[in-house]
């Protein structure tokens, strides 16, 4: 058993790993009815993404038992928490009996308690004593040096990490995070995202994460559920959803694709890091990480151009052979082009309709993708 497996088991020994979460609620709201019926993976981060007022917070509140829906069916890790409005006998586990960790937009620490006592409050709230110790949580979130401080001596990002720690110490079966970064400035967001990535890697409890920010989706999501006016418009694994030309994400102006990459070489003379990806090599400026480190890289669709021949005299250093899988109109001027890269990967390019016609591009064409600009979304 490796360290992660043992930490996962110790966090929640009763977790039935492979049972998907079944989440179904119907409840009238002010202007529309929230009507959701989804199954999501039992581990990893599922992002709820949608415009303001589409029902994201209400859905979290339903899961936490804070909003009563007329129709409900909720199974978490194989346990039935709620069943309402069907022929079978009703079930409603009260909010205080649900093993839910809830992190809000604004960190809500007790001002009269030290960081340590705020964290221990989560420990005491646990229905079953959390096997995860205060020390382990502090180390996971980088807050060990803050334990004796009072909340008014903490930055916004530190407060939010402590809110997350307190939620984890309550031994949750599910972690609900409602725009946990939206109250923080850009620099603090960047500081906290790596800790969220760590949580995601080291804990196998399901996390449902609400955000409006596409950058957070690209950094953190494994699975995405798109909501509009109380209904699911699309859902699925994030990499697939970004490449689905009929789904909303591919139509955003900042559409792109995610690629798994491993650091393969650092060129000290030019300060460039090379990554090996399925189908080639991608080079980015700077010394990014030790050889062998896995990263997730983001390729913006509008930063990819397509050529029939590999340009030999281009300043663009990332040029990869690709095959066209699908072309679809993105708007009146532009097309999305879904491309096969290597054996198992796909990327998205955004080109003008005029270029598509000029090059007479069609499915099956073998081309070269010139990638101008690669961003790392996982450090
Ligand atoms: N208890 C309630 N009863 C009736 N309507 C409600 C209730 N709670 C929220 N609403 C309404 O339901 C809609 C969805 O609200 P909700 O807070 O779930 O949206 P949201 O997607 O989380 O929005 P935001 O991204 O702005 O936080 C809103 O129009 C809101 O006014």
ipTM for the predicted complex: 0.95
Q: Which of 27, 32, 48, 57 to mutate to test the pocket of ligand 1 (most atoms within 8 A of CB)?
A: 57
Sorted by where each starts, the structural domains of the chain and their CATH numbers stand as 3-243 (3.40.50.300), 256-376 (2.40.50.100)
pLDDT, position 132: 75
Residues with Cβ within 6 A of ligand 1? 29-31, 50, 52-58
pLDDT, position 131: 64
Distances (CA, A) of 221 to 55, 103, 133, 166, 296: 19, 17, 27, 22, 11
**Ligand 1: nearest atom to the Cα of 60:** 18
53 Cα: distance to centroid of ligand 1 (angstroms) = 5
217 Cα: distance to centroid of ligand 1 (angstroms) = 21
Count Cα atoms within 13 angstroms, Cβ side, for 374: 29
323 Cα: distance to centroid of ligand 1 (angstroms) = 44
Q: Which of 31, 55, 208 to mutate to test the pocket of ligand 1 (most atoms within 8 A of CB)?
A: 55
119 and 137 Cβ atoms separated by less than 8 Å: yes
Predicted confidence (pLDDT) per residue in 36-72, tens digit:
999 999 888 999 999 999 999 999 999 999 999 999 9
pLDDT, position 126: 64
Residues of the chain with pLDDT under 50: 1-16, 379
Sign of CA dihedral 376, 179, 102, 98: negative
**Token pair listed for 71:** 């129709």
Percent of the chain residues topping a pLDDT of 90: 60
pLDDT, position 130: 66
280 Cα: distance to centroid of ligand 1 (angstroms) = 46
Phi, psi at 18, each rounded to 5°: -95, -5
- End-to-end, the C-alpha distance of the chain in Å comes to 25
pLDDT, position 125: 65
> Rounded to whole angstroms, how far apart are CA atoms 57 and 338?
33
> Rounded to whole angstroms, how far apart are CA atoms 354 and 332?
11
**Ligand 1: nearest atom to the Cα of 50:** 21
Phi, psi at 251, each rounded to 5°: -100, -5
**Ligand 1: nearest atom to the Cα of 61:** 18
Residue nearest to atom 2 of ligand 1 (CA): 29
Render the burial of 299-336: b for 16+ CB within 10 Å, e for the rest: bbbbbbbbeeeeeeeeeebbbbebebebbeebeeebbb
Residue in the structure block whose two tokens are 């650091």:
263
pLDDT, position 212: 86
Predicted confidence (pLDDT) per residue in 91-112, tens digit:
899 998 998 999 998 888 999 9
| CA nearest neighbour of 328 among 298, 304, 300, 348 | 348
Residue nearest to atom 4 of ligand 1 (CA): 29
- Prediction pTM value: 0.86
Phi/psi region, residue 171 (left: phi>0; alpha: psi -120 to 50; beta: rest), is left
């Amino acid at each position: 058993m490796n360290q992660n497996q043992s930490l996962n088991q110790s966090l929640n020994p009763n977790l039935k790993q492979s049972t998907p979460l079944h989440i179904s609620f119907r409840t009238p709201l002010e202007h529309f009815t929230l009507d959701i019926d989804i199954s999501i993976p039992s581990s990893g981060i599922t992002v709820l993404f949608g415009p303001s007022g589409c029902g994201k917070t209400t859905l979290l509140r339903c899961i936490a038992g804070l909003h009563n829906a007329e129709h409900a069916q909720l199974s978490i890790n194989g346990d039935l928490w709620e069943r309402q409005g069907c022929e079978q006998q009703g079930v409603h586990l009260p909010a205080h009996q649900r093993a839910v960790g809830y992190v809000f937009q604004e960190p809500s620490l007790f001002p009269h308690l030290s960081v340590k006592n705020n964290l221990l409050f989560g420990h005491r709230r646990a229905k079953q004593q959390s096997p995860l110790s205060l020390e382990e949580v502090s180390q996971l979130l980088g807050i060990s040096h803050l334990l004796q401080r009072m909340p008014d001596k903490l930055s916004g990002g530190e407060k939010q990490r402590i809110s997350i720690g307190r939620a984890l110490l309550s031994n949750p079966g599910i972690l609900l995070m409602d725009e946990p970064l939206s109250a923080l400035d850009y620099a603090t967001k960047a500081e906290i995202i790596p800790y969220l990535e760590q949580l995601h890697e080291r804990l196998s409890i399901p996390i449902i994460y609400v955000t409006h920010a596409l950058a957070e989706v690209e950094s953190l999501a494994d699975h995405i559920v798109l909501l509009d006016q109380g209904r699911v418009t699309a859902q699925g694994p994030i990499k697939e959803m970004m490449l689905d030309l009929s789904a909303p994400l591919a139509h955003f102006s900042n559409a792109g694709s995610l690629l798994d990459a491993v650091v393969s070489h650092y060129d000290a003379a030019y300060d460039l890091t090379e990554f090996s990806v399925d189908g080639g090599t991608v080079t980015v400026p700077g010394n990014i990480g030790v050889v062998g480190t896995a990263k997730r890289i983001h390729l913006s669709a509008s930063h990819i151009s397509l050529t029939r021949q590999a340009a030999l005299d281009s300043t663009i250093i990332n040029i990869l052979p690709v095959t066209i899988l699908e072309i679809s109109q993105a708007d009146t001027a532009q097309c999305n082009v879904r491309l096969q890269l290597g054996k198992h990967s796909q990327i998205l390019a955004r080109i003008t309709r005029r270029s598509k016609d000029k090059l007479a591009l069609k499915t099956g064409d073998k081309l070269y993708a010139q990638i101008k600009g690669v961003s790392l979304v996982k450090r």
